Amino acid sequence: MFRNSRDRFMAFSDGVFAVILTVLVLEIRLPTGSQLLSSSWLHFAYAILIYVAGFSLISTYWYFHQKLFSQVHRLTGKLIVLNFYCLFFISLMPILTQVIAMDPLSKSRSFIYGLVYLIFNIYLWWLFRVVEQLLRHLKPWTPVERARANHQIAIVRNTAIVGLIACLCAWIWAPLTPLILAFSPLVRDVTKIF
Amino acid sequence: MFRNSRDRFMAFSDGVFAVILTVLVLEIRLPTGSQLLSSSWLHFAYAILIYVAGFSLISTYWYFHQKLFSQVHRLTGKLIVLNFYCLFFISLMPILTQVIAMDPLSKSRSFIYGLVYLIFNIYLWWLFRVVEQLLRHLKPWTPVERARANHQIAIVRNTAIVGLIACLCAWIWAPLTPLILAFSPLVRDVTKIF
Amino acid sequence: MFRNSRDRFMAFSDGVFAVILTVLVLEIRLPTGSQLLSSSWLHFAYAILIYVAGFSLISTYWYFHQKLFSQVHRLTGKLIVLNFYCLFFISLMPILTQVIAMDPLSKSRSFIYGLVYLIFNIYLWWLFRVVEQLLRHLKPWTPVERARANHQIAIVRNTAIVGLIACLCAWIWAPLTPLILAFSPLVRDVTKIF
Amino acid sequence: MFRNSRDRFMAFSDGVFAVILTVLVLEIRLPTGSQLLSSSWLHFAYAILIYVAGFSLISTYWYFHQKLFSQVHRLTGKLIVLNFYCLFFISLMPILTQVIAMDPLSKSRSFIYGLVYLIFNIYLWWLFRVVEQLLRHLKPWTPVERARANHQIAIVRNTAIVGLIACLCAWIWAPLTPLILAFSPLVRDVTKIF
């Protein structure tokens, strides 16, 4: 008999997250020395901003991902497939970063960038609800556990709302999208307050 | 005394799968802005199709790989060597993707791409039978376990058949090969029905 | 209920460290054959020196990182965030290596290179103190444990002092900075003596 | 108190091995379509040979590495440092592959390639003896265990001898070096016979 291995599922996902995170940094191009006073330093600043935004997003998603599967002790084939869709979105990060890095002032590019993350965030939110149902089904939750789970799902929903705002702000000024997304990890702390 | 370490065997394999999966995405080249109306967007669409095909294949193979070794608790040197052949095939994925991405309409290139995966799939099928024999040898299986193992091996065999079809379809229209391979994970669900 | 997973936290961090370490080596450019007698071999020697410095720094930081979290059995959200800042610094290594490799004799570039690592070292030192407080809070330490923890923190502090020296030496001769940083792992052994 | 973590030591090493293995494949350049009849296909054949050699070497070293540390349950700082030297050698693989791939017929380049692996193999052999002494010190070995350990060390020594032969054969015909190294995993089976 062949079974699904939970440990390898986690190790593989972590590997993909770790490689994507470090691949992002390879996209940053340094301004060459002779262009010290030209616009290349401004492009470099945009590149750093875009990198920070990418780093924030991937670390936020990794954080959600490890929370999501922390209590899933028995993997079904369906969860593995849903996780691969999740990794597929994550793996698009380097291309999306390229899309936005090639022309940081293009409003449509920033919008596409924001939109993909908005869609991913909604997908992640839906995934949390799927896993929540699965876990509840296995073992009834205490009120404290239910409150914590609801709080966690609220964080994911609020992150999606921030994604929507970032997406719309692209039409005001393109670099606003990565700027807002760079601060998206703060959603976790803000949700705690309310 | 020095022994083989099962955990490290898994961690190493997962690492290779994860890096290969993310290296694939680096192959995608974005169309540059000035070519908006030229054929570069069509090439971009092909690149995305080829990426999805590669992603599907690697995730399918990882899925098979983790099932394959999930019940192997004692590693022999022979299994490690067989696994390295397996990782060797997987590591060819980025080159094969390059082969097909350089000329997505070339029938012979698509055929080679499909052929290598067909060979790999047959190898994987054989590997499942080797491991099955090994596991049976250690502990007799219950009828339920035997049925599940046979079902799993049937999935691998059917994936190989889909690989053969994809391979042959290259001669009809080259992009059919990645298109069919992109949907190869569905084989698992279709096998369930019959 | 969703929880933080300590194992995945470690696996993810190790993955980032491992990828960054190997990405560094990709920056090294070989001198081409026709330039055998030109200055390209000198640049190659600088590239090797810078690679060794990067390798030393990352291995030192990994060493500190694994010591730091070895006794943290329950992860708080705050520690995960602090760790992401840590990984962010580490992920800047390939760009910094590019900065210094593009002009190994530039004093200001070497200074920036040294400065970032000095700041990171001070951050790491502070992180050790945070974790120390956290661990002490959970369980009182024996005098031996306290002495060992203090010794460990002294190593991190001394590494920061070496970073400061490397930083200042950039103004004497630029390649001194990577040269001193290449030997920074020796701080551990020197601290043992005193 | 801060301790060394054995699990993370393994995970980190596996990560480095996995990334280096997959980085190797990125070095392979495909012949472009218009050069179908020129010498580019010969260069492609050399590239594949060099890739297979690199894959063989890294998988052999990983195999040795996991055997080496399988019974080390308590890590000392010294072992971590010795392992970092080991990873340093491994991380040079992509550059060495570049050295040899740029001119596959250069005898001196093949010699350098072979020489570095010979030195690494001797280092690995010495490391096995260090760990053997360490393990014996902790717990007396039974005759069977001692025989197995000696057998394992003999495999590493014989691999070093094959490395020496590969190194010297570079002066006969340059591609002999990668060719012999590509078959170096067979040393394990040959040692079994005698």
ipTM for the predicted complex comes to 0.88
Provide the 10 A C-beta neighbour count for residue B24. Answer: 22
Does D133 contact chain B (CB < 8 Å)? no
* pLDDT tens per residue, range B42-90: 777 888 888 888 898 898 888 888 888 887 877 787 888 888 888 888 8
| Average pLDDT estimate for C173-189 | 84
| Chain C residues inside the 8 Å CB shell of D7 | 10
Q: Nearest C-alpha of chain D: how many angstroms from A19? A: 9
Helix axes D77-91, D6-26, angle to 10 degrees: 10
Task: Read off the pLDDT of residues A14-71 as tens digits, 9 standing for 90 and up.
Answer: 999 999 988 887 777 666 655 555 667 777 788 888 888 889 889 888 888 888 888 7
Q: Which of A62, A65, A66 to mutate to test the interface with C (most CBs of C within 10 A)?
A: A66
Query: Does D15 contact A at CB distance below 8 Å?
Result: yes
Structure-block tokens of residue B185: 């994970």
- Digits of tens for pLDDT over chain D (194 positions)? 577 778 888 888 999 999 998 888 777 766 665 555 566 777 778 888 888 888 988 888 888 888 888 878 777 878 888 888 888 888 888 888 888 888 888 888 889 888 988 899 899 889 888 888 888 888 777 888 888 888 888 888 888 888 899 888 889 988 888 888 888 888 777 776 55
What pLDDT is attached to residue D31? 65
**Can you give the residue ranges of every domain in chain D?**
6-193
Please report how the helices B40-69 and B6-26 are oriented relative to each other, as an axis angle in degrees rounded to 10: 170
Chain-chain contact of D20 with C15 (C-beta, under 8 angstroms): no
Q: What pLDDT, on a 0 to 100 scale, did the predictor assign at position D193?
A: 54
Q: Which residues of chain B have pLDDT under 70?
A: 1, 29-39, 192-194
pLDDT tens for C78-89 read 888 888 888 888
Question: Which tokens belong to D43?
Answer: 């260069």
Distance, C-alpha C169 to centroid of its chain: 18
Cα A63 to Cα A77: distance, rounded to the nearest angstrom: 23
Mutation pick from A14, A36, A63 vs chain C, by most beta carbons of C within 10 Å, is A14
| Number of inter-chain CB pairs under 8 A, A vs C | 86
Q: Cβ of C15 under 8 Å from any chain B Cβ?
A: yes
Across the interface, which of D1, D4, D88 has its CB nearest the CB of C145?
A: D1
Those residues with Cβ within 8 angstroms of residue D11's Cβ, 6 or more apart along the chain or in another chain: B11, C10, C11, C14, C15
* Least confident segment among A74-78, B168-172, C118-122, C159-163: A74-78
Between positions 47 and 86 of D, the ones with CB within 8 A of C are 77, 80-81, 84
Provide, rounded to the nearest whole percent, the portion of chain C with pLDDT above 90.
Answer: 4
pLDDT per residue as tens digits for the range D75-90: 787 888 888 888 888 8
- For D14, list phi and psi in degrees, rounded to 5: -60, -40
CB contact (8 A) between residue D71 and residue B2: yes
A15 interfacial to chain D (CB closer than 8 Å) = yes
CA–CA separation, B40 and B160 (whole Å)? 33
A12–B188 C-beta distance less than 8 A: no
Q: What is the DSSP string of chain C?
A: -----HHHHHHHHHHHHHHHHHHHHHT--PPPGGGTTSTHHHHHHHHHHHHHHHHHHHHHHHHHHHHHHTT--S--HHHHHHHHHHHHHHHTHHHHHHHHHH-TT-HHHHHHHHHHHHHHHHHHHHHHHHHHHHHHHHSPPPHHHHHHHHHHHHHHHHHHHHHHHHHHHTTT-TTHHHHHHHTGGGHHHHHHH-
